[in-house]
Amino acid sequence: MKRSNRCFSGINIPGYDKIINPVLIIIFLLISSAVLFTGCKEDGPAGTGQNDVKTEVEGAWSGIEISGAAGSWKFNVSGKSASITATYPVMSYSGNISVDTTTNPRRLDLDITVSTITEYIGTKSLGIYKISGDTLYYAAGEPGVTFRPRGFVGTSTSRVFILLNKP
């Protein structure tokens, strides 16, 4: 059966039939900017280096998902809490973050407590990030997937975002 280019709202979007999961689009627009190829040494939860995070990821960020649907993403990080919203398609995620600044690339994981996609509530999105100047590059795994992205390239189970700090 051939898939349609029409999204759930009936709007014709070229390439929509290739989008595996609209939720991935939102998660990956969160914090990525460049196409950098780096790897993680090992999988596992983030959590050490938490004090260093406040100076790096805390604040208001906005940008795009580099391999996803059109629309903008907004990330607001305050302490250990984060909220992420997308304008098109409309999505949102909120939860608690843990950051590990001792790894390369650094890790940022989101425990989702609120979401417009109910099946993601109670799951974790494992991610990596890099900050260059006022730009945050963020690769996030699909919620519930037990491995984190290996680099800043979108895949069928990860999204990449490029975000600018908006003080």
Domain CATH number, residue 40: 2.40.128
Which backbone phi and psi does 87 adopt, to 5 degrees?
Answer: -85, -30
Query: Is residue 4 included in any domain, yes or no?
Result: no
- What amino acid occupies position 147? F
Q: Contacts from 75-78 at CB under 8 Å and sequence distance 24+?
A: 75/30, 75/31, 75/136, 75/138, 75/161, 75/163
Task: State the pLDDT at residue 44.
Answer: 45
Query: Is residue 9 included in any domain, yes or no?
Result: no
Give residue-wise pLDDT tens across range 116-153: 999 999 999 999 999 999 999 999 999 999 999 999 99
Question: Is the pLDDT score of 98 beyond 80?
Answer: yes
Query: Is residue 1 included in any domain, yes or no?
Result: no
Question: Is the pLDDT score of 10 beyond 90?
Answer: no
Task: State the pLDDT at residue 5.
Answer: 44
In 3D space, the residue among 142, 140, 146 whose CA is nearest the CA of residue 163 turns out to be: 140
Containing structural domain, residue 28: 21-165
Task: State the pLDDT at residue 54.
Answer: 58
Question: Is the pLDDT score of 75 beyond 70?
Answer: yes
Q: What is the pTM of this model?
A: 0.68
Query: Is residue 16 included in any domain, yes or no?
Result: no
Query: Is residue 128 included in any domain, yes or no?
Result: yes
Query: Is residue 133 included in any domain, yes or no?
Result: yes
CA dihedral 15, 76, 90, 116 (to 10 degrees): 110
Query: Is residue 37 included in any domain, yes or no?
Result: yes
Residue 79's CB: how many other CB atoms inside 10 A?
Answer: 11
Peptide bond into 105 cis (omega under 30): yes
On whether the CB atoms of residues 4 and 18 are closer than 8 A, the answer is no
Q: How far apart are CA 127 and CA 139, in angstroms?
A: 5
Q: How far apart are CA 102 and CA 22, in angstroms?
A: 32
Q: What is the mean pLDDT of the chain?
A: 77
Q: Count of domains in the chain?
A: 1
Query: Is residue 111 included in any domain, yes or no?
Result: yes
